[in-house]
């Protein structure tokens, strides 16, 4: 009998939301655009899809990078987890941290990626592709 791999299915997504106007919030979180009057906070959530619960929620300055926040979510994961990400997360260095933690992942990649363009042009239904690691990613 063939055994099936079972994962704990997790999802990560980020969002930006407006906060009430106050000097303290403006100073701590910043704004989403220079001309904006209201403070904005960047949120990132690690969510257990099956159990309908948030495992980790972070609120940071609007200038904080989404991947940076998602990277900290990895501290709440374990081998056997499968994390689903929306677009905006793919990066070779980010993949590496998942491999180091032994956590599987699936990330949506924009169609403008050369690797995706080549796959779409191939007419194949599925394939295994290599993503080149550029010098910037190695650093």
69 alpha carbon, distance to own chain's centre? 8
Domain count, the chain: 1
Instruction: Write out pLDDT tens, residues 97-128.
Output: 999 999 999 988 877 778 888 888 999 998 88
Closest residue by Cα to residue 48 from 84, 14, 89, 22: 84
The answer to the question of residue 75 being in a domain is yes
Q: What is the mean pLDDT of the chain?
A: 87
Give the number of other Cβ atoms within 10 Å of residue 8's Cβ.
17
Task: Give the structural domain span for 103.
Answer: 8-109
- CA separation for the pair 42, 100 (Å, rounded): 26
Direct distance between the N- and C-terminal alpha carbons of the chain, in angstroms, rounded to an integer: 45
Q: What is the CATH number of the domain that holds 64?
A: 3.30.420.10
pLDDT computed for residue 6 by the predictor: 87
The answer to the question of residue 129 being in a domain is no
The answer to the question of residue 138 being in a domain is no
């Amino acid at each position: 009998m063939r055994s099936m791999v079972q994962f704990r299915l997790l999802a990560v997504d980020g969002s930006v939301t407006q906060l009430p106007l106050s000097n303290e919030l403006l100073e701590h979180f910043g704004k989403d655009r220079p001309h904006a009057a209201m403070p904005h906070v960047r949120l990132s959530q690690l969510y257990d899809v099956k159990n309908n619960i948030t495992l980790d929620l972070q609120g940071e300055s609007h200038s904080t990078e989404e991947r940076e926040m998602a990277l900290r979510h990895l501290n709440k994961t374990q081998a056997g987890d499968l994390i689903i990400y929306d677009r905006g997360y793919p990066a070779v260095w980010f993949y590496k941290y998942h491999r180091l933690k032994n956590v599987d992942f699936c990330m949506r990649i924009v169609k403008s990626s050369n690797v995706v363009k080549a796959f779409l042009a191939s007419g194949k239904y599925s394939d295994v592709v290599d993503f080149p690691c550029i010098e910037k990613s190695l650093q």
